[in-house]
Amino acid sequence: MEELPEIFEIFEGEVASVKEYGAFIKIPGCRQQGLVHKSQMSASRVDNPSEIVDVGERVWVKLIGKEIKDGKVKLSLSMKIVNQGTGKDLDPNNVSLDQEERRKRKFKDYTSQRITLEAVLNTFCKKCGCKGHFAKDCFSQPGGTKYSLVPEEEVEPAGPSTQSDLQPPKKKKEGKRKKEKEE
């Protein structure tokens, strides 16, 4: 078996063919070719890879992925993280590759799962003596029952019982006008 480059190794290869989805690069020292997908050709958007590279052109690439499928080795290459003039690695710690990998992951929907919180603080309230909350969060009143509700007030009958209830309340402005008239 041929000696393939190590993952994240940079080398200069020759463009073997250009397709609508990317370019195949000949790897020096072996018969194997790797694909530079059009998303890995440039930092800006590439619609047509033939506008970026031509067959026979030499380019600097970084090996960013190896995949063995059905006994065949598929190599993924990147041009955008290598300086095309000098071959210098523009992403030595592979940070941008990790970010792209995270962006590609599908979001898992957890909205159907209910979250239940059953945690109880391992404390005792100094105010009421109960476990699980602090005195500043305590709702009990001194000497009263713990967490009691305020009793509801009785509702008055809906219908009016006297004539005075039928008349609307007097306004204060009327009193001021009477005083002005007297003066």
Rounded to 5°, angle at Cα 57 from 36 and 90 = 50
CA-to-CA distance for 96 and 80, rounded, in angstroms? 10
For residue 46, what pLDDT is reported? 92
For residue 69, what pLDDT is reported? 87
Residue 148 reports pLDDT greater than 50: no
What confidence tier does 133 reach under pLDDT thresholds 50, 70, 90? confident
pLDDT tens digits for 82-100?
999 999 999 888 888 888 8
- Category of 7 on φ-ψ map: left (φ > 0), alpha (ψ -120 to 50) or beta: beta
For residue 88, what pLDDT is reported? 93
Write out the H or E segment, with its range, that includes residue 119: none
Q: What percent of the chain has pLDDT over 90?
A: 38
Q: What are the boundaries of each domain within the chain? A: 9-104
CATH annotation of 9-104: 2.40.50.140
Q: What is the mean pLDDT of the chain?
A: 79
Of 67, 66, 64, 74, nearest to 95 by C-alpha is: 64
pLDDT tens digits for 2-52?
678 889 999 999 999 999 999 999 998 888 899 999 999 998 999 999 999
Of 4, 3, 27, 5, nearest to 14 by C-alpha is: 27
Residue 106 reports pLDDT greater than 90: no
The pLDDT of 113-123, averaged and rounded, is: 67
User: Residue 111 half-sphere exposure, CB side, CA atoms within 13 Å?
Assistant: 2
Residue 138 reports pLDDT greater than 90: no
Residue 30 contacts by C-beta under 8 Å, 6 or more apart in sequence?
A: 2, 3, 4
